[in-house]
Amino acid sequence: MEQIFLLEDDAALGRGIAMALSGPDRAVTQADTVARAKEALAGAGFDLLILDVNLPDGSGLELLRALRQSGDRTPAILLTANDLEWDEVAGLEAGADDYITKPFSLAVLRARVNAQLRRAAPAQPERLELDGFTFDFARLEFAKEGAPIDLSKTEQRLLRLLVENRGRTLPRELLLERVWDGGEFVDENALSVTVRRLRAKLGGAPIKTVYGVGYTWEVGK
């Protein structure tokens, strides 16, 4: 479960961000003041910090600077209404990994969040030999017992998610978001169609439907 911490004093915006980022494999913890943020961050482990710069009792920028000085290297995105170049430079020099100016699209924020979480995730092997298949995601070469398999870009993304998380059930909502980069404007039936095509091309791959939930690459089958 990915854990995101959000510091935002605008209640409506905070709710919107939390709703946009929350999901089956992702939780958002919120605070609306620097004081409450310090309490939430003390001893807690988060995968990403999203910090508003201007707050009633202080600055998210100064909070981030203090975290970096204490050795905390959690990826961080700063949110601010200040659009001057100097403000962005100050934020990045304070240790921010990204800087977003208000107003912003929630879709853009979600894409930036996904990018930061991908960078922070442990590296996965680019080449896998699994159940008689060879998947080389660096060279985009896929084969079953030596016979090449031609996969579309969408099928490749779906396959990678399934095999890198083999043994885990991935919810439909998560797959729609990750395969179609947000999934907001994608017909939910597109996932079923893509799974069906991937199964047909792989022929015998242990891609199991978990009814009412999603899909999994079964292990030990």
Q: Where are the domains of the chain?
A: 2-120, 127-217
User: Does the domain spanning 127-217 belong to CATH 1.10.10.10?
Assistant: yes
Which of these ranges, 20-24, 51-55, 159-163, has the smallest mean pLDDT?
20-24
What are the tens digits of pLDDT across the range 127-150?
Answer: 888 888 999 988 899 999 889 999
Here the tokens at position 51 are 């910090």
Of 109, 82, 117, the residue nearest 14 (C-alpha): 109
C-alpha 167/C-alpha 165 separation (Å) is 6
What are the tens digits of pLDDT across the range 151-205?
Answer: 999 999 999 999 988 888 888 888 888 888 765 667 778 999 999 999 999 998 9
Domain 2-120: which CATH class?
alpha beta
Q: How confident is the model at residue 121 (pLDDT cuts 50, 70, 90)?
A: low
Q: Identify whether 125 is preceded by a cis peptide bond (ω within 30 of 0).
A: no
Claim: this prediction has a pTM higher than 0.75: no
Residue 92 contacts residue 61 (beta carbons within 8 Å): no
